[in-house]
Amino acid sequence: MHVEILYRPAHALARVVLAPYESVTAESGALVGMSPNLKLETQSGGLLSGVKRFFGGESFFRNTFTAPAERGEVLLAHALCGDLRVLDLTQAGFFLQSSAFVAATPNVQVETALGGLRNFFSGAGLFVLRVTAASPGLLVFGAFGGIEELVCDGNLVIDTGHLVAWDATLDYTIGKSASGWLMSFLSGEGLVCRFRGQGRIWIQSRSPSAYGRKVGSLLPPRKG
Partner 1 sequence: MQHAITHGPSFALLRVDLLPGESVVGEAGSMVARHDELAMQVRLNAGESQSSWARVKALIVALVRRFIGGETLFVNHFSTARGGSVWLAPPLAGQIVHRRLNGELLLLSRGAYLAHTGAVTLNLKFGGLRGLLAKQGAFFLAVSGHGDLWFSSYGGVEPIDVTGSYVIDNGHLVGYEGDLSFSIRSAGGGLLGLVASGEGLVCEFHGHGRLWIQTRNLQSLVGWLGPLLPR
Q: Which residues bind partner 1 (CB under 8 A)?
A: 9-10, 81-83, 145-146, 148, 150, 154-159, 162, 177-178, 183, 186-189, 194, 201, 203, 205-207, 210-211, 213-215, 218-220, 222-224
Nearer to partner 1, 50 or 146 (CB): 146
Encode 171-203: b = buried (16+ Cβ within 10 Å), e = exposed. ebebebbeeeeeebeeeebbbbbebeeebbbbb
Nearer to partner 1, 35 or 205 (CB): 205
Nearer to partner 1, 78 or 162 (CB): 162
Residues in the chain: 224
Nearer to partner 1, 1 or 150 (CB): 150
Minimum distance from residue 224 beta carbon to partner 1 (Å): 7
Minimum distance from residue 176 beta carbon to partner 1 (Å): 11
Minimum distance from residue 95 beta carbon to partner 1 (Å): 16
Spatial separation of the C-alpha atoms in residues 11 and 5, rounded to whole Å: 10
- Residue 101 to residues 123, 139, 165, 219, Cα–Cα distance (Å): 17, 8, 10, 30
Spatial separation of the C-alpha atoms in residues 83 and 142, rounded to whole Å: 6
Minimum distance from residue 130 beta carbon to partner 1 (Å): 22
